[in-house]
């Protein structure tokens, strides 16, 4: 199965010398996941919603400062490879080139839509993330944005425990997700939406229609003194989306995608039988499920490899091999290691967070560790994983089903000529 029939020529294009304030306006449209940037007719790259929300930008800044170089797809690219490239590049829109000519774009939504009928064999529990990051309803919007940036997540469930005292609620103290109910959710859409409200048309461009060189525009916006700070001080309760759509881990991914489409959403909170939040499923998780290997061969993927200053890729693979060697009955199918740098440093060495997701024939294991340098951070995460494996705390169903018929049904369509 390839991307031939999902290549779209309907995309938003910006010129590299246009202002970021206009970019904010474009992303007010929830259907815009990313924009193509050109300079004098030449393709430069893309800017995604996540990039724009990841840090503060001056409204007068030029769009070229945000351009992200992403992989280029061929018109007949295999759909699994397109999904993998989206995951690796952290971009929900990729350009499609025929030679040197830009033919269109492919989005994550179009890929998921094409494969949706084939998602009945995978469950929410297999694809969702159980490393749940939440926020309380009395926390400020600024604190929530900080959490999203620090954790590099796009959705933040808002939870509250009924057993908490009024003083705990007013302080914004976090609830324990295991003893809480979901009362709302924040996403990158909310971040962009409030950023747009904090700007005025006075420093923008033409607010009445498209400008030359743009696929679409929603008008220009400039900074309004004090408005941004007032927005950041708002309690999360005032800006969250509620009610929240939930789903149980035994539902299929096909059902999950249908539910997302019904509410025009991009995430579902995963709950147990008592409606207690246990995880989250995003469209990125669904996209990642398309990259699962049917052969069971191990793959080790590293996100943030630039931070491996005191380790090599082979060193990381040895760490994963060591985890398997500690339990002769455990087979590691895939491993994903993500590194994220904090601002703090010790004698010039940055504080890193390492997150390891280990897919095994006995389930999904996850752990996080921190340390100064990649070696220390990964070592701490490995020790936490080792404890979870020994305690046999399984966080999901196996991604390798023993039935060959299952794999034929699950992946046969992907392997067609």
pLDDT in tens, 160-194: 876 554 554 444 455 555 567 889 998 877 766 55
What does residue 295 show for φ and ψ, rounded to 5 degrees?
-85, -15
Among 304, 316, 248, 325, residue whose Cα is nearest residue 281: 248
The segment(s) of the chain belonging to CATH 3.30.160.100 are 299-391
328 or 1: which carries more pLDDT confidence?
1
Please tell me the least confidently modeled range out of 199-208, 255-264, 297-306. 199-208
- Identify the bridge partners of residue 38 per DSSP, sorted by sequence position: 15, 43
Q: Where are the beta strands (DSSP E) in 111-210?
A: 155-160, 181-187, 199-200
For residue 13, pLDDT beyond 50: yes
pLDDT at 255: 94
Q: Where are the CATH 3.10.580.10 domain residues in the chain?
A: 4-118, 124-194+227-289
Judged by DSSP in three states, 216 sits in coil
Read off the pLDDT of each residue in 257-274 and give the average, rounded to a whole number.
87
Q: Say which CATH class 299-391 falls into.
A: alpha beta
Percent of the chain with pLDDT over 70: 74
Q: Which one is predicted more confidently, 360 or 380? A: 380
Cis, peptide link before residue 346, omega less than 30° from 0: no
Looking at 75-89, 109-123, 289-303, 396-410, which range is the least confident one? 396-410
Q: Is 288 helix (H, G, I), strand (E, B) or coil?
A: helix
Distance CA 324, CA 132 (A): 25
Q: What is the pLDDT of residue 223?
A: 41
- The answer, yes or no, to whether residue 400 has pLDDT greater than 90, is no
336 SS3 class: strand
CA dist 213 and 320 (Å) reads: 49
Nearest to 307 by CA among 345, 269, 271, 281: 345
Report pLDDT for 352: 92
The CATH number of domain 4-118 is 3.10.20.30: no
pLDDT of 195 strictly over 60: no
User: What does pLDDT average to over the chain?
Assistant: 77
Residue 282 is inside which H or E element, if any? Answer: strand 277-282
Spatial distance between the Cα atoms of 216 and 209, rounded to a whole number of angstroms: 8
pLDDT at 344: 87
Determine the average pLDDT of the residues in 273-302.
Answer: 75
Separation between Cα atoms, residue 252 and residue 268, nearest integer Å = 13
Considering 180-194, 196-210, 217-231, 393-407, the range whose residues carry the highest mean pLDDT is: 180-194
Greater pLDDT, 209 or 284: 284
* Residue 200, both tokens: 């005025």
Q: Would you call 326 helix, strand, or coil by DSSP?
A: coil
Asked if the model's pLDDT at residue 364 lies above 90, the reply is no
User: Is 3.40.50.2300 the CATH number for 124-194+227-289?
Assistant: no
Residue 64, pLDDT > 80, answer yes
- With residue 324 as reference, give the H or E element that holds it: helix 313-325
In the block, tokens 């747009």 appear at: 196
The whole-number pLDDT of residue 244 equals 85
Task: Give the mean pLDDT of 66-81.
Answer: 88
| Assigned token pair, 204 | 């923008």
CA distance 141 to 147: 10
Tell me if 8 sits within 8 A of 108, measured CB to CB: no
Task: Please indicate whether residue 57 or residue 228 has the higher confidence score (pLDDT).
Answer: 57
């Amino acid at each position: 199965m390839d991307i031939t029939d999902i290549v779209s020529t309907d995309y938003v294009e910006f010129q590299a010398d246009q202002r970021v304030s206009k970019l904010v306006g474009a992303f007010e449209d929830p259907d815009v996941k990313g924009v193509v940037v050109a300079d004098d007719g030449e393709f430069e790259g893309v800017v995604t919603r996540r990039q724009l929300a990841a840090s503060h930008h001056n409204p007068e800044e030029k769009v070229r400062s945000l351009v992200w170089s992403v992989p280029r797809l061929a018109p007949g690219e295999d759909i699994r490879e397109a999904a993998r490239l989206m995951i690796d590049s952290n971009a929900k829109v990729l350009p499609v080139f025929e030679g040197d000519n830009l033919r269109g774009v492919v989005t994550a939504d179009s890929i998921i839509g094409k494969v949706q009928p084939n998602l009945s064999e995978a469950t929410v529990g297999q694809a969702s993330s159980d490393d749940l990051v939440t926020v309380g309803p009395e926390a400020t919007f600024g604190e929530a944005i900080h959490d999203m940036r620090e954790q590099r997540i796009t959705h933040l469930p808002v939870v509250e425990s009924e057993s908490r005292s009024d003083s705990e609620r007013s302080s914004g103290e976090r609830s324990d997700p295991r003893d809480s109910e979901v009362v709302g959710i924040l996403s990158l859409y909310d971040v962009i939406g409030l950023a747009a409200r904090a700007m005025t048309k006075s420093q923008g461009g033409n607010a009445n229609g498209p400008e030359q060189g743009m696929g679409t525009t929603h008008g220009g916006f400039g900074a309004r003194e004090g408005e941004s700070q007032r927005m950041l001080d708002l309690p999360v309760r005032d800006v969250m989306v509620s009610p929240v759509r939930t789903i149980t881990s035994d539902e299929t991914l096909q059902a999950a995608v249908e539910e997302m489409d019904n509410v025009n959403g991009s995430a579902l909170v995963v709950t147990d039988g008592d409606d207690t939040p246990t995880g989250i499923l995003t469209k990125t998780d669904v996209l990642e499920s398309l990259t699962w290997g049917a052969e069971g061969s191990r793959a080790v993927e590293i996100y943030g490899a630039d931070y491996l200053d005191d380790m090599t890729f082979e060193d990381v693979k040895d760490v994963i091999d060591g985890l398997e060697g500690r339990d002769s009955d455990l087979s590691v199918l895939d491993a994903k290691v993500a590194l994220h740098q904090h601002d703090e440093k010790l004698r010039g060495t940055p504080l890193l967070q390492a997150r390891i997701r280990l897919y095994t024939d006995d389930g999904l294991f996850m752990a996080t560790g921190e340390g100064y340098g990649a070696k220390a951070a990964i070592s701490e995460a490995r020790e936490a994983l080792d404890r979870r494996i020994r305690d046999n705390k399984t966080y999901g169903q196996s991604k390798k089903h023993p039935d060959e018929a299952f794999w034929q049904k699950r992946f046969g369509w992907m392997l067609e000529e």
